[in-house]
Structures are given as structure tokens and as C-alpha cells.
Amino acid sequence: MPKRTSLGHAGGDDNLFVWTVFIILLALFAATCWIGSFYVFGHPENAFSYRVLRSLGKVDPPKRFKLTAAPRGRFLDADKLLERYGDQSPAQLDAASDLLLRNYLRNYYQSKDRVPYVTGSFNIMGVFRLGPNNFVTSGVVALARSTDNPSLLLEIIFPAEEKNVGNLERMLQTGLDLTLARTLDLTAVINARRLPDGRLNLTAVPLLYGSYTSTDDTGTFSLEPPVSLKISAGLPVLNQAAVEKAEEYYAGYLERAGLADDSSAPALMRVQKTEAANPEAAPVPAVPPPGTTEMIDGVPVARAVAVDTAGEDVPVARAEPAGADAPAPTPAPTAALEPFTAATPPAATPAPESGARNWTLYDAGRMPRGRLLDANAARNLAGQGAPADPVYLSGEFSVAGTGGGRAILRGRRAPRNVRIIADFPAGATPPAQGQTFRRDSSRPFRIDRVEEGADGFVNVYVREITRP
């Protein structure tokens, strides 16, 4: 009997020890779950966390913001972006990128951080197609260099349905100027990294998604918020090899196009002015039309060619390059784009018919007397309509594009946002693309009108009125 009592007491001690260990492990498990749940909900930028939250329905896909309900932010140009991120250490950039992506994945809900929006002018270096192994699985990504500060590169993602990707590839072309304006665009930074050569490379995505058409109605495309994201693919989208390959082709493009100084690069613009409901926010950059030529105010001009890596053994991480089997690119102004609705598509501006190119021509120095302006002074006529008395344009010009009896000119000392559109009479041959020439008081152009677009560009419409 005492023996049984002894054994029974020993068994009770063993059970108590087992239960104590079990309760401790259970408490540790509960604490781990509690802490883990905080981490999962607090860090959707982590691939595992995002996957769990998506399965639980606790995170929404990126939303389409209205201009009237855009998140508060700061519009930063290249210099300010470099000032903000350029001096940060790799660890600081990683922490900043995690926060930027976290706010984006939460659709900026209850975020106290002001969104960094990109402004300024960028020149597209290359375009790459997105696929199932990318952060955004459908659309394209364009790599662009700031024209204000080449130390900044911008990787901008254009999410789109597969049916629109072809148009995006044709419209976004190497060498095009992409202008992100404070009053028009809402492009948010979601990642920052430093390249091996010290330059800053930002990833950005538009928060306003819309449909667009070119003014000559040759193509349309639509941007759509991605239904889901592949967080495990990571950001940035392009690896170093892709950046180097884009730069190689971009350098070749500039050399072949005679744009080594980047002074006459074709421009990419929006033309519709959108009401700004939030001083901290504003739509997505527009892109030019497909085809072998482009139209500016009805002018067909040659287009540039996108980066082509077909046949190249290039390890491009996470993005497939958009191939373009085309001849060497040439510089060209591009068609402006405007928002498109099926009910009221914007009308194209037709090129003048040859019959409309007959007007009075004068011998050099024998035209009616009038005021003589240079391109810088001519921009002050914007919005005044057709001049009542003759007004003439003189100066030194370079030819950015030509076709259809018309040439697109740049004043050599004029601001970058001044573009001269010169009509030539029937039978006359416009100067060749890339040519430079001078017009003095004996052979000036006559100014027909000057118009300022919502994109900030000033178009000076002129005619050739003197005989060679």
C-alpha cells in the first residue's frame, strides 16, 4: 500500500510538470501569434504578410484615386528628391522604401506621411514589358532620366491590361520628354535605391488611372490599377543589367539623332487641363501615338525607336524588354494626348491641304512693315489671337521635325517650352530635320498666332512669306 502511494505521488508530480511546460509553451505560442499578427498587419510590404492579408481579405488592391480625393503630398522636383533621398545610407533607403511601399499598399489609408510626388521633365531611356514575375504583372515600365539633374533616374510603372500593352510599347518611345507637372500629374514614389555609380534611382507609379487617345486618333490606351501585386518580386523592377542596357541604347539614340546636348528632344505632353481639387495632389502622364509617324497639330514627323534587346543575352531582372524591330531612331516631336471617352473622342487637327498652302509671297525685304520679334518675345503674344498688324519672327532656329509641308523649329536661345510650327507654301521644301538656319529682318517668318497649352508649352504658329 505505501508503495502504491509513493508511485501515485510520483505520477502526480510528472503530470504537473507536463502541464506546466504545456501552459508555458501555449503562452509563448499565444504571445508569438499576438506579436506576429501585429507584424503581419503592420508590414504588408513583406511578401508573407501581404499573402496572409490578401487571403484574409484585409488588404485591398491598389485603388483608382479621384483628383478630388487624392492623398496629401509634396511635389518634389529632381533637386528636392536628391536632397531628400540622395544622402541617405543604404539602410536608410531600405527603411524609407519599406515605408513608401507600405503606404502605397494600404492605399494611403490613415497615413500621416505626406506622399512624395514627382515633378519635372524626364527623358525616356528605355521601355520594358511587365510579366507574371514582376511586382506589377501586366503593363510596361519606363526608365527615364531627369533633364534637370541627370543624377536622378525615374523608373515609372504603367499598369495596364494585356490588350493595351502593345499600344503602350508603341507610344512610349526612347528619347521622348515626359513632363510631370504639379497641376496635372499624380505620380507617387514607392521605392528608392542608389546605383553603383552614385545616382539615385526612384520607382514611381501613377495614382490616377485613365484612358487616353492621341490627337490624331491613331491609337488609344488605358491604365488600370493592378488587381494584385507580386510582392515577392520586389522593387525596383529593373536590375542593374537592364539599366545599363537601356543607357547603352539611349546613348546610341542620342548620337544617331544628333541630340548629344539633348537640346531638341521630342516632348511628351498632356493637353487637357484638369481642375485641381487638392493643392497637394493632381493625372497620369500622357504618351504619344503608335505608327511610323506622329502628329503635332496635324504634322506627320518621324518617331523615335524604343530600346530593343531582341537577340541580346542580357540578364534583365524581373522585366522583359519591349522589342522593337525598327530602323535607327530619329528625333521627332510627338503628338500630345488627351483623356478619351467613347462618347466624345477628341477630334484630330488635320494637316493643311495643299490647296490651303497658297498665300502671298514677297521678295526679301519687301514684305509689309511690321514688328520684328524673336522667339522669346513672341511667347508674350499667347492668347491674343491673330495679330491685327503684321508681326514677324527672326532668329536662329534648329529643325526638330519636318513633314507635310511643315517644320517644327526650336529657337536656339528660346526657352525649352517654346515651340515654333512653321508652314511652308505649296511647292516649297521645308528645311531638313537637324538643320540649323538663321532668319533676319529681310526674310522673317510671319506670326499667325501664339497659343499656350495647358501643359505649359507655347506654340508659335508662323508662315514662310518670302521667296528663296
Separation between Cα atoms, residue 103 and residue 93, nearest integer Å:
15
Confidence tier at 267 by pLDDT (50, 70, 90): very low
Task: Give the domain ranges of the chain.
Answer: 30-59, 67-339, 354-464
- Which amino acid belongs to residue 34? W
Q: What is the pLDDT of residues 49-61, one digit of tens each?
A: 898 888 888 889 9
Do 181 and 229 contact (CB within 8 A), yes or no? no
Q: What is the pLDDT of residues 189-208, one digit of tens each?
A: 999 999 999 999 999 999 98
Query: What per-residue confidence (pLDDT) applies to 462?
Result: 94
Q: What is the mean pLDDT of residues 132-159?
A: 93
Query: What per-residue confidence (pLDDT) applies to 340?
Result: 30
One-character DSSP codes across 122-190: EEEEEEEEE-TTSSSSSEEEEEEEESS-TTEEEEEEEE--HHHHHHHHHHS-TT-EEEE-TTT--EEEE
Q: Is the pLDDT of residue 104 over 90?
A: yes
Averaged pLDDT score across all residues of the chain: 75
pTM: predicted TM-score of the whole model, two decimal places:
0.56
Confidence tier at 257 by pLDDT (50, 70, 90): low
Separation between Cα atoms, residue 121 and residue 267, nearest integer Å:
9
Instruction: Choose between 33 and 378: higher pLDDT.
Output: 378
Q: Which grid coordinates belong to 350?
A: 488635320
Q: What is the CATH number of domain 354-464?
A: 2.40.50.110
Do 217 and 298 contact (CB within 8 A), yes or no? no
Residue 179 sits at φ, ψ, to 5 deg, of -100, 120
Q: What is the mean pLDDT of residues 344-348?
A: 30
Percent of the chain past pLDDT 70, that is, above it, reads 70
Strands 120-130 and 337-339: unpaired
Q: What is the pLDDT of residues 411-438, one digit of tens each?
A: 887 887 888 999 999 888 899 888 889 9
Separation between Cα atoms, residue 180 and residue 455, nearest integer Å:
9
Query: What per-residue confidence (pLDDT) applies to 404?
Result: 75
Q: What is the mean pLDDT of residues 104-120?
A: 92
Instruction: Choose between 345 and 213: higher pLDDT.
Output: 213
- Which amino acid belongs to residue 142? A
Strands 418-423 and 458-464: parallel
